[in-house]
Structure 1
Amino acid sequence: MKTILAQELLPEEAALWWLGQAGYVIRSAGLTIAIDPYLSDAAGRGSPEFSRQYPPPVAAEELEADIYIITHDHLDHLDPETIASLRNKGSARFVAPRLAARKLPALGVPAEQTIVLNAGETWRTEGVEITGVFALPTGADVLDTTGYIVTFGNGRSVYHTSDTQFHPLVLAAAPHAPDLMLVPINGKWNNPGPEQAAEFAKAVRPRFVMPNHYDMMALNAENPAVFKWCCEQQGLGSNCVIAERMQSFIWS
């Protein structure tokens, strides 16, 4: 985490670090934002087939962000062990949809630090604007699933689709031409596979698109090279970026 916080950025730049699965840290305009950090093995404790295939790239107690965004209440997105271990829960802000937000007080997040943000709603604070984006839930247990687009004060923008089914209404509700799109490609449990994710990206037209949700669990894996190939077939080959965990991706 020290490396992330020490990264020097020009005023117009943003940087992103992939934590694995669907988790990221983003820095821009003087702010640090974490989205869906999964830094434990919570999903694997009750279901060994979903155990992590590699250790967390950063310890949860070392993670430090100004804003934490939670997209929905699945253990690999709203990770109770990670959230409970965060050291700055009293000062950071937490953004989550309505049902997921209800889980946060029991994990030590003060109610006054939580912003309930559903699809179609926008929250602004100094240096950033965050808007909830419609996602089609992948199960009845996460009906409030919400994607988010983060737009920093310098104009840099990131669209995290959350887990979502591939559907024309999802495409219609998605933001147009963000800087960076983060999309699942595992193709299981109602998430899009590589071909559908590439079609999704073609509809959104981001400057860059990164796949996620394919690397951590043996039973829930996919080859990102397939997504890269599908992007090439959609004319998005140069837009596709296959991230390396904890390696900075910087753009302006």
Structure 2
Amino acid sequence: MKRFASLISIAALAATLVGCAGTAVQAPALQPAPPGAIAAGKAEVLWLGQATMRITTPGGKVIVVDPWLTTNPKTPAAFKQLQALGKVDLILVTHAHYDHFNDAPALAKMNNVPVYNGGGMGPAIVSLGILPTAQVQRFGKSGTVAPFGPTGVKITAVHAEHSSELVWKNPATDKEETHFGGEPVGYIIELENGFKIWHMGDTGLYGDMKLIGETFKPDLVLIPIGGHFTMGPQDAATAVRDMIKPKYAIPIHYGTFPLLRGTPAEFTSALGSASATRVLVPEPGQKVDF
């Protein structure tokens, strides 16, 4: 299946980064990329709007985080059909809100793969009949799993400062019900080559970001900046500059709705010239090659 996203090479960072002076530089225009275009030993991170990410590991495993595609206004038309993602090996969900969980059950059934959640959401989605037990993998905050074997990808659930209501339409009554959806989490995803990605999910600023940064030393953070429900640009800049200090940051969870007012330009301006972190600003449907 063709992929409809451009590759952004780290070798061409000057064309895709936001510079230290705080001026946003647009990512290249979308261009087709053939299957298998990722080079051996590299990772590929594709942003599809809001918090939805498709991560292809150096070993060829495909992890989809927070899949919300079919009704996501920021998802490119080419990815509105779940089949367009290609093969999927694992799904991670940070919390139960629809804009992070909505397409996870259908995607899991389509690919016969598990949904992993580190915040205790599993019992609710099993008891409600959303997914069978065999497709729900539970672990907890600070727990680490190796879903592809001991020498493969390692995933650790970490804290997120948010909520996690699960809104479910009861087929018997055709009415929406609100259920406990576990606790919100973020994920440290360590790839086979040691590259570490922190998908922060939805979160506000909290002091232990510094501890998590010092413990795991993530190379890349996928950080919400939209505000209202999560950190805005100022708090996100504080987290990156003063607490986590990653090599790279990709802003997510902004611009999808009018309430999510934070912008990448505001984020990089707040970050300031003292930060060594390079900010990548792909458009939805573009991917970054590490």
What is the TM-score when the length of structure 2 is the normalising length? 0.73
Moved more, 171-180 or 145-154: 171-180
Structure 1 unaligned segments of length 5 or more: list them: 42-50
2:50 corresponds to which residue? 21
Greater RCO between the two (CA within 8 Å, min separation 6)? 2
- CA drift of 1:71 comes to 0.2
Moved more, 203-212 or 137-146: 137-146
C-alpha distance 107-52 of structure 1, shift in aligned 2 (>3 A): farther
Aligned residues of 1:136 and 1:170 also touching (Cα < 8 A):
no
Deviations 1:192-218 (A, max 9, x none): 111110111121121110111102112
Aligned residues of 1:39 and 1:56 also touching (Cα < 8 A):
no
C-alpha distance 135-53 of structure 1, shift in aligned 2 (>3 A): closer
Q: Report the Cα distance in structure 1 between the residues aligned to 2:105 and 2:51, rounded to whole angstroms.
A: 19
Query: What is the DSSP-based 3-state SS (H/G/I as helix, E as strand, rest coil) of the residue aligned with 1:137?
Result: coil
Q: Report the Cα distance in structure 2 between the residues aligned to 1:13 and 1:196, rounded to whole angstroms.
A: 31
Mark the structure with the bigger radius of gyration: 2
Aligned residues of 2:224 and 2:251 also touching (Cα < 8 A):
yes
Q: Once superposed, what is the RMSD of the aligned Cα atoms?
A: 2.6
- CA drift of 1:55 comes to 5.8
2:158 corresponds to which residue? 133
- CA drift of 1:54 comes to 6.4
C-alpha distance 118-10 of structure 1, shift in aligned 2 (>3 A): same
- CA drift of 1:165 comes to 1.8
Deviations 1:199-242 (A, max 9, x none): 11121121110111102112223221111212234424x51111
C-alpha distance 88-69 of structure 1, shift in aligned 2 (>3 A): same
2:21 corresponds to which residue? none
1:66 corresponds to which residue? 89
Moved more, 134-143 or 157-166: 134-143
> In the alignment, residue 245 of structure 1 is paired with which amino acid?
P
Instruction: Report 1:85-234 matches (<5 A).
Output: 85-86=106-107, 88-89=109-110, 91-105=112-126, 106=128, 109-124=131-146, 125-126=148-149, 127-138=152-163, 144-174=183-213, 175-189=215-229, 191-202=230-241, 203-234=243-274
Q: Report the Cα distance in structure 2 between the residues aligned to 1:93 and 1:87, rounded to whole angstroms.
A: 6
Q: Count residues in correspondence.
A: 238
> In the alignment, residue 130 of structure 1 is paired with which amino acid?
I
Equivalent pairs: percent with the same residue? 26
Moved more, 17-26 or 119-128: 119-128
Q: Which of 63, 67, 80 does residue 37 from structure 1 map onto?
A: 67
Structure 2 unaligned segments of length 5 or more: list them: 6-33, 166-179
Q: Report the Cα distance in structure 2 between the residues aligned to 1:247 and 1:40, rounded to whole angstroms.
A: 17
What is the TM-score when the length of structure 1 is the normalising length? 0.83
Deviations 1:76-130 (A, max 9, x none): 1111xx2343264563121113432234445653312322122100101232111
Query: What is the DSSP-based 3-state SS (H/G/I as helix, E as strand, rest coil) of the residue aligned with 1:168?
Result: coil
Moved more, 88-97 or 145-154: 88-97
Q: Report the Cα distance in structure 2 between the residues aligned to 1:136 and 1:34, rounded to whole angstroms.
A: 22
Q: Report the Cα distance in structure 2 between the residues aligned to 1:142 and 1:36, rounded to whole angstroms.
A: 14
Aligned residues of 2:44 and 2:289 also touching (Cα < 8 A):
yes
Query: What is the DSSP-based 3-state SS (H/G/I as helix, E as strand, rest coil) of the residue aligned with 1:132?
Result: strand
Q: Which has the higher helix share?
A: 1
- CA drift of 1:178 comes to 1.4
Q: Report the Cα distance in structure 1 between the residues aligned to 2:187 and 2:105, rounded to whole angstroms.
A: 23
Query: What is the DSSP-based 3-state SS (H/G/I as helix, E as strand, rest coil) of the residue aligned with 1:86?
Result: helix
Query: What is the DSSP-based 3-state SS (H/G/I as helix, E as strand, rest coil) of the residue aligned with 1:40?
Result: coil
